[in-house]
Amino acid sequence: MSNELTEQQLELLTRVLQHGGVLAAPFGHPGEDSLMEEVREDIDALEARGLISADWTRGSDAPERITLTPAGYDALDIA
């Protein structure tokens, strides 16, 4: 499945994996301009495919936590 992912999506999955499968505050401190539109789109796409789950900050479009799902581990060829 990993060959169906864009390079940026694969990088995001790998980044979450490097943090033990759960990436908290993935884009720095709340209120920073560090969250790019493309990354939000990748998060939405990966979540729609069931590869991650994202907990969103209430009243914001910034994810608070990103977690790899079992399908996300499979996409990275990790058993």
Q: What is the pTM of this model?
A: 0.79
Closest CA to 43 of 74, 5, 77: 5
Task: Give whole-number Cα distances, 9 to 30, 31, 59, in Å.
Answer: 22, 23, 25
| Residue-wise pLDDT tens digits, 23-66 | 886 665 444 545 567 788 899 999 999 999 998 878 777 788 89
